[in-house]
Amino acid sequence: MSDQVRIIRFNAVHRLFHLFIMVTFLVQALTGLCRLLYTTAWGKAVTNFLGGYDSVSTIHNRVGVAMLLGFGVHVVYILLKVEWKALRRSLFHPDSLVPRVQDVIHLGQRLRWFVGLGPPPAFDRWTYWEKFDYWAVFWGLPLLGLTGLLLMYPLAVSRLLTGWVLNVMLLLHRAEALLAMLYIFIVHFTIGHFRHGMFPMNECMFSGSVELEEVRREKPLWIVRLEEEGKLREAVVPGPQPWFRVAYFAFGYLALAVGLYLLLILLIYRHYLEWH
């Protein structure tokens, strides 16, 4: 493993953002499900373990505010990263996560590959599903945060808006949260971690680097581009320290386990998932 050549994919800031959203998302999923499934035996047991309904609500609310602040920091980071003088190039560069026409073509190629009409698409640094993952969180988090914030202060909100808006906000909050949980625990986990060659956990979001061989298999155009620009040598980084690997694998397995456990709970208590 360590003799493999590895190239950098996520810098420390990217990894910190992912770590932050990972931890807060799992906390919100757990405490949110406690509130949603409070009428069930599981909901009562876990809620009581966490200190009761009020305590779970407090955790959910404060972590939610933290997520919104984190989102604000992320937006500031993006605004600092964008090259304003060459805006168009900066936005639609292959290193940017902004969707391009190429992504639609890739998706078409993927669908054609499904029915045996062509080869699988060759990707650059970011694939269409990775961009979808990113933008799903980018609009989902503010939506959940905003509706959650309105629900946190019903009296103040009812002075500005009509009270029944909160009914709609609660529905939006719950439905969007269910969608987020289902998407992350099923689609994101499967594509990111459970595919052949990655099972059971893909470490690149923690180590920040990917094996060159894996990139050649998954994202050949990125390597081609790096070679053309002569940046491949710069991109090579040493592998992670053994203690760091042990730490992030333990943490990653724990996070995956929590996610799959919550998915199981969602499936078991599917009849109790009222989103209104």
Long-range own/partner contacts, residues 232-239 (CB < 8 A, 24 or more apart): 232/7, 235/7, 235/8, 236/5, 236/6, 236/7, 236/8, 236/212, 237/6, 237/7, 237/8, 237/208, 237/209, 238/6, 239/1, 239/2, 239/4, 239/6, 239/207, 239/209
| Terminal C-alpha separation, the chain | 50
Helix (H, G, I), strand (E, B) or coil at 203: coil
Q: Contacting another protein (CB under 8 A), which of 52, 154, 200, 220?
A: 154
Contact range with another protein by CB under 8 A, out of 69-77, 97-105, 160-168, 246-254: 160-168
Contact range with another protein by CB under 8 A, out of 4-12, 60-68, 90-98, 189-197: 189-197
- Minimum CB distance to another protein smaller for 20 or for 42: 42
Q: Contacting another protein (CB under 8 A), which of 190, 231, 254, 260?
A: 190
Neighbour count for residue 34 (Cβ, 10 Å) = 26
Decide: is 163 part of the binding site for another protein (CB under 8 A): yes
Task: Tell me, residue by residue from 191 to 230, as one string, x for binding to another protein by CB under 8 A and - for no binding.
Answer: x--xxx----------------------------------
Q: For residue 177, which of 25, 62, 68 has the smallest C-alpha distance?
A: 25
Q: Contacting another protein (CB under 8 A), which of 41, 162, 230, 243?
A: 162
The H or E element spanning position 257 is helix 242-268
Give the side-chain half-sphere CA count within 13 A for 201.
18
Contact range with another protein by CB under 8 A, out of 92-100, 188-196, 242-250, 261-269: 188-196
Number of residues near another protein (by CB under 8 A): 38
Decide: is 187 part of the binding site for another protein (CB under 8 A): yes
User: By CB under 8 A, what part of segment 78-117 binds another protein?
Assistant: 110, 113-114
- Minimum CB distance to another protein smaller for 72 or for 120: 120
User: By CB under 8 A, what part of segment 164-183 binds another protein?
Assistant: 164-168, 171-172, 175-176, 178-179, 182-183
- Minimum CB distance to another protein smaller for 178 or for 237: 178
Min dist. Cβ of residue 160 to another protein (A): 9
Report phi then psi at 237, rounded to 5.
-130, 155
Decide: is 39 part of the binding site for another protein (CB under 8 A): yes
- Minimum CB distance to another protein smaller for 178 or for 256: 178
Q: d(Cα 257, Cα 137) in Å, to the nearest integer?
A: 21
Q: d(Cα 189, Cα 209) in Å, to the nearest integer?
A: 19
Residue type, 86: A
* Burial class of residue 24, CB neighbours in 10 A (0-12, 13-18, 19+): middle
Q: d(Cα 237, Cα 7) in Å, to the nearest integer?
A: 5
- Minimum CB distance to another protein smaller for 114 or for 261: 114
Contact residues: another protein, CB under 8 A: 35, 38-39, 53, 110, 113-114, 129, 136, 154-155, 158-159, 161-168, 171-172, 175-176, 178-179, 182-183, 186-187, 190-191, 194-196, 275-276
